[in-house]
Chains A and B, each alone.
Chain A
Amino acid sequence: MTGLPAQTAPAVKEALGGGPEEKGGGGGSNGWWHSDAGEATRRNLGLIGVLAGLILIGIITQPELYGREGWWITNVWAILKLGATVGVVAVGMTFVIIGGGIDLSVGAIIALAGVWSTTVATQEMGTFFMILTALVVGVVVGLINGFLISYGRLVPFIATLAMLVAARGLAAQISNKQTQQTDNRTINAIAAEDFLGVPILVWILAVVVVLGWILLNRTTFGRRTVAIGGNVEAARLAGINVRLHTMMLYALAGLCCGIGAVMLTSIGTSAQAAMATNYELDAIAAVIIGGTLLSGGRGTIVGSLLGVVIFSTITNLFTLNALSTEVQNMVKGGIIVAAVLIQQFRFNSLSQFFKRNRITAAS
């Protein structure tokens, strides 16, 4: 960044809330809001602030409930359990979106994996095979998505949209359009039992988030993902196998869906072709709120998790106050818009603001 002309610099800084003692007169090229890592942290802190605000509203509006012995902890678990499945899916979605793609088929994959793993034949093969079936179905469908996108050169939006339709169709075919209940105790225990005082669903979410975080931030897989999403040509010319990696990203999303299918089957003690409807929208919304660029190249797992938790907290808040679902959906829509607007403000308005000032100063 070049220096601002001396006469406008103070005004700009004042508008930014920066102190006049800031040195360099460069509009703060080293300012914390310019550092990418700081930016992500800042945004996540903002999301935590939103979350805290929502919880505060809950406490204010329902003091009686929060005053009950031990109620608040069950409420925390209820919120986290409500978001657990979408959370797991959102981790996979975060990878896909950071890698420059999108996966609209996640809900359908969950339905297919859930239905496939709860057919009578599979159920007869036992718990292990039920879980394995769900995971393998998820990965295989994800690989098909990835193959179509990487090697078939389909636009991700179209490939996964087609898969959304097709996978739900197959799920309906397999289930004969009926709800397949499971009486498998182990499966059903996943949603019902605690481990070390924490619901197993929450454990699963936590493990997936931690593994996802490590995968994204500490492994070559994550690095490749960021590189491909950030500049696919640069990644390709650096020798990264972009196609193979892109395929793996969708397989990873599929795996997350497989896990999600097991969770959701357990939660409902059943699977049906219509399960996990609109999960793709919930997951994408959470990822966007979490600050992941829809164009790829930048994003955080923690942000996505916060996005999911904010959504389930809103649902919880509205239920506690017996408010209607319509208003709840309106608020959710508003939160998506607000989150994206905040991002745009940070990255565009501010720099444009700078530009304008510099130009008028120059002329």
Chain B
Amino acid sequence: MTQHDPVRRRFLLGGAALGAGALLAACTSNDSGDDNTNTQTQGGNNASPNANTAPGKKVTIGFSAPAADHGWIAAITSNAKAQAAEYSDVTFTTVEAGADAAAQRSALSTMISQKPDVIVLLPHDGKELNAFGLEAMKAGIPVVNLDRAFPDALAYRLQIKGDNYGMGVAAGNYIAEQMKAKGVSNPIIGEIAGIDNLELTQERSAGFKAALAAAGLTVANRRAAGFTVDTGQAEMSQLLQALPKMDALWNHDDDQGIGVLAAANQANRKEFLMVGGAGSKAAIEAIQADNSVLKCTVTYSPSMASSAISLARLIAQGKGMSDLVELQVPKEIILASETITKENASTYLPLGFS
């Protein structure tokens, strides 16, 4: 680098920056591809129209979920939005939940003042937002709690959530079954968990451990990643070093699973079978194609947001679920964690999130 002509250099820099700006502005588009990201989830509901889908009383549904830093949360929001759009009698309003529980609470208090007919809420933290649930219920607005439970039963009208423990059990059972079928007597099993501090991670690992124990198996090495691709890859790359031969692996989250799979490919390791978690579209497609170590994933589906909107509408309209005898929607629904394999992948593909 020389000092002789700073003016000229500055000009060049400026020019480069401008050019780069123009070039880059053209590259931010994500729409010219052919995958439509927001429309894949509602197929299941539309497939079987029933009496409840007929337009009824006009209702307003307020919705709040944390800002998405992760595919699963993003899918929750987009699913909710898409499902609401299916109903002509639903007005859908949403508030940004901000960065933490406190921000979400303050955002929600403005929502109460707008008096929606029902609130669907994925809290940052169920314990911290429990008070809000009570407040809203007291104000006569039913609360539909998504996924992260309120400790107080009075704080919600309906709770709909996935089954973290069941997820671990499903993964464990699948692996135990496959090992037995392959005749591996003393299999080496790895686990890539999500963020270790989260209760959901601990529940998943507990279920996994219990299911394996029932079959007389144990986890040889468990690493905690960060629900992101790069952390998944990093942990997997080291796990593969620690376990030169592995028979099975459960990865808690399909998003970080992209990194886990990448690490396996980069290390050229194919001798094990891998089970995913959550049920992303990419994972289900990979299972269907059967060209990688990923053979199975256990669901923890963001489709629960779609169901939550549907049920919230029924609550607001005072209707029950038509297949049930009860005249009102039940108070608690826990989704079963389903096991997606090559055989049933095509059925689940529409529910996969990206």
When the two chains form their complex, are residues A120 and B30 in contact, meaning their CB atoms are under 8 A apart? yes
Given A119-B30, A136-B23, A277-B226: A221 in contact with B1 (beta carbons within 8 A): yes
Tell me whether B233 is interfacial, beta carbon within 8 Å.
yes
When the two chains form their complex, are residues B259 and A268 in contact, meaning their CB atoms are under 8 A apart? yes
* Residues of A222-280 contacting chain B, CB below 8 A: 241, 244, 248, 264, 267-277
Q: Find B238's partner among A65, A121, A136, A319 (CB 8 Å cutoff).
A: A319
When the two chains form their complex, are residues B20 and A268 in contact, meaning their CB atoms are under 8 A apart? no
Tell me whether B17 is interfacial, beta carbon within 8 Å.
yes
When the two chains form their complex, are residues B28 and A78 in contact, meaning their CB atoms are under 8 A apart? no
Please report the C-alpha to C-alpha distance between residue A74 and residue B242 in the assembled complex, in whole angstroms. 11
When the two chains form their complex, are residues B258 and A192 in contact, meaning their CB atoms are under 8 A apart? no
When the two chains form their complex, are residues B244 and A65 in contact, meaning their CB atoms are under 8 A apart? yes
A residues in contact with B228, CB < 8 Å? 272, 274-275, 277
* Residues of A300-323 contacting chain B, CB below 8 A: 315-316, 319-322
Q: Find A181's partner among B32, B37, B226, B282 (CB 8 Å cutoff).
A: B282
Q: For B26, B231, B241, which residue has the most chain A Cβ atoms within 10 angstroms?
A: B241
Count A-B contacts at CB 8 Å: 169
Given A136-B20, A244-B6, A326-B196: A267 in contact with B266 (beta carbons within 8 A): yes
Q: Find B354's partner among A82, A178, A248, A264 (CB 8 Å cutoff).
A: A178
B residues in contact with A71, CB < 8 Å? 244
A residues in contact with B220, CB < 8 Å? 322
Tell me whether A23 is interfacial, beta carbon within 8 Å.
no
Tell me whether A176 is interfacial, beta carbon within 8 Å.
yes
A residues in contact with B227, CB < 8 Å? 274
Given A219-B1, A319-B223: A267 in contact with B24 (beta carbons within 8 A): no
When the two chains form their complex, are residues A179 and B226 in contact, meaning their CB atoms are under 8 A apart? no
Shortest beta-carbon distance from A274 to chain B in Å: 5
Tell me whether A94 is interfacial, beta carbon within 8 Å.
no
When the two chains form their complex, are residues A133 and B24 in contact, meaning their CB atoms are under 8 A apart? yes
Please report the C-alpha to C-alpha distance between residue A268 and residue B261 in the assembled complex, in whole angstroms. 8
Shortest beta-carbon distance from A283 to chain B in Å: 14
Please report the C-alpha to C-alpha distance between residue A272 and residue B68 in the assembled complex, in whole angstroms. 11
When the two chains form their complex, are residues A268 and B241 in contact, meaning their CB atoms are under 8 A apart? no
Q: Find A116's partner among B1, B2, B3, B28 (CB 8 Å cutoff).
A: B28
Nearest residue (CB) in B for A122 is B27
B residues in contact with A140, CB < 8 Å? 17, 20-21, 24
- Contact bitstring B221-241, A, C-beta under 8 A = 1, else 0: 111101111111111011111
When the two chains form their complex, are residues A322 and B26 in contact, meaning their CB atoms are under 8 A apart? no
Nearest residue (CB) in B for A143 is B17
Please report the C-alpha to C-alpha distance between residue A106 and residue B223 in the assembled complex, in whole angstroms. 26
Shortest beta-carbon distance from A88 to chain B in Å: 14
Please report the C-alpha to C-alpha distance between residue A267 and residue B265 in the assembled complex, in whole angstroms. 10
A residues in contact with B231, CB < 8 Å? 277
The interface stretch among B69-77, B206-214, B302-310, B331-339 is B69-77
B residues in contact with A191, CB < 8 Å? 262, 266
When the two chains form their complex, are residues A272 and B237 in contact, meaning their CB atoms are under 8 A apart? no
Tell me whether B29 is interfacial, beta carbon within 8 Å.
yes
B residues in contact with A44, CB < 8 Å? none
* Residues of B244-267 contacting chain A, CB below 8 A: 244, 255, 258-259, 261-263, 265-267
Please report the C-alpha to C-alpha distance between residue A244 and residue B4 in the assembled complex, in whole angstroms. 13
Tell me whether B184 is interfacial, beta carbon within 8 Å.
no
Tell me whether A177 is interfacial, beta carbon within 8 Å.
yes
Please report the C-alpha to C-alpha distance between residue A341 and residue B6 in the assembled complex, in whole angstroms. 42
Shortest beta-carbon distance from A236 to chain B in Å: 14
When the two chains form their complex, are residues B221 and A121 in contact, meaning their CB atoms are under 8 A apart? no
When the two chains form their complex, are residues B230 and A264 in contact, meaning their CB atoms are under 8 A apart? yes
* Residues of B1-40 contacting chain A, CB below 8 A: 1-3, 6, 10, 13, 16-17, 20-21, 23-24, 26-33, 37
A residues in contact with B224, CB < 8 Å? 324-325
When the two chains form their complex, are residues B241 and A267 in contact, meaning their CB atoms are under 8 A apart? no
Please report the C-alpha to C-alpha distance between residue A74 and residue B199 in the assembled complex, in whole angstroms. 35
When the two chains form their complex, are residues B32 and A267 in contact, meaning their CB atoms are under 8 A apart? no
Tell me whether A175 is interfacial, beta carbon within 8 Å.
yes
Q: Find A268's partner among B69, B70, B229 (CB 8 Å cutoff).
A: B229
Given A78-B237, A177-B69, A326-B196: A276 in contact with B230 (beta carbons within 8 A): yes
Shortest beta-carbon distance from B206 to chain A in Å: 15
Shortest beta-carbon distance from A190 to chain B in Å: 10
Q: Find B258's partner among A121, A143, A181 (CB 8 Å cutoff).
A: A181
Nearest residue (CB) in B for A318 is B238
Please report the C-alpha to C-alpha distance between residue A283 and residue B196 in the assembled complex, in whole angstroms. 23
When the two chains form their complex, are residues A121 and B282 in contact, meaning their CB atoms are under 8 A apart? no
When the two chains form their complex, are residues B31 and A75 in contact, meaning their CB atoms are under 8 A apart? no
When the two chains form their complex, are residues B28 and A121 in contact, meaning their CB atoms are under 8 A apart? yes
Please report the C-alpha to C-alpha distance between residue A322 and residue B193 in the assembled complex, in whole angstroms. 13
When the two chains form their complex, are residues B244 and A179 in contact, meaning their CB atoms are under 8 A apart? no
When the two chains form their complex, are residues A120 and B31 in contact, meaning their CB atoms are under 8 A apart? yes
Nearest residue (CB) in B for A174 is B28
When the two chains form their complex, are residues B29 and A119 in contact, meaning their CB atoms are under 8 A apart? yes
Q: Which 3 A-B pairs have the closest CB atoms?
A: A268-B229, A120-B33, A319-B238
| Residues of A bordering B, CB below 8 Å | 65, 68, 71, 74-75, 78, 81-82, 116-117, 119-122, 124-125, 129, 132-133, 136-137, 139-140, 143, 172, 174-181, 188, 191-192, 219-221, 241, 244, 248, 264, 267-277, 315-316, 319-322, 324-326
| Residues of B bordering A, CB below 8 Å | 1-3, 6, 10, 13, 16-17, 20-21, 23-24, 26-33, 37, 67-71, 73-74, 196, 220-224, 226-235, 237-242, 244, 255, 258-259, 261-263, 265-267, 282, 354
Can you give 22 contacting A-B residue pairs, CB < 8 Å?
A65-B241, A65-B242, A74-B241, A78-B240, A117-B27, A120-B29, A120-B30, A121-B32, A132-B23, A133-B27, A143-B13, A179-B229, A181-B258, A220-B3, A221-B1, A248-B1, A268-B229, A269-B259, A274-B69, A274-B70, A275-B229, A319-B241
Given A136-B24, A177-B73, A320-B241; 8 other pairs, CB 8 A cutoff: A78-B240, A129-B27, A133-B24, A179-B282, A241-B6, A277-B228, A320-B238, A326-B196
